[in-house]
Amino acid sequence: MKIIKQKKELRSEIEVLKASGKTIGFVPTMGALHNGHKSLVERAVAENDICVVSVFVNPTQFNNPTDLEKYPRNLKRDAEFLEKIGCRIIFSPEPPEIYLPDELDSRFEFDFGGLDTVMEGKFRPGHFNGVVQIVSKLFQLVQPDKAYFGEKDFQQLAIIHRMVAVMNLQVEIVDCPIVREASGLALSSRNERLNEDERKKAVEISKVLSESRNFAPQLSPIELTQWVVEQINSRPGLEVEYYEIVNTSTLQPVYSWSAASVGCIAVYCGEVRLIDNIRYKTIEN
Summarize as ranges the residues that interact with ligand PAF (CB under 6 A).
28-30, 58, 61, 131, 134-135, 153, 156
The nearest distance, CB 160 to ligand PAF, in angstroms, is 8
The nearest distance, CB 60 to ligand PAF, in angstroms, is 9
Pick the closer one to ligand PAF by CB: 95 or 253. Answer: 95
Pick the closer one to ligand PAF by CB: 58 or 231. Answer: 58
190 contacts 223 by C-beta, under 8 angstroms: no
Pick the closer one to ligand PAF by CB: 30 or 90. Answer: 30
* CA 74 to chain CA centroid, nearest Å: 19
Give the catalytic positions in this structure: 37
Pick the closer one to ligand PAF by CB: 37 or 201. Answer: 37
The nearest distance, CB 131 to ligand PAF, in angstroms, is 5
Which residues are paired to 149 by β-bridges? 175
39 vs 24: CA distance, rounded Å: 17
Q: Measured in Å, how far apart are the chain's first and last C-alpha atoms?
A: 54
Q: Where are the beta strands (DSSP E) in the chain?
A: 2-4, 24-29, 50-55, 89-91, 146-150, 172-176, 238-247, 261-269, 272-280
143 vs 23: CA distance, rounded Å: 10
The nearest distance, CB 30 to ligand PAF, in angstroms, is 4
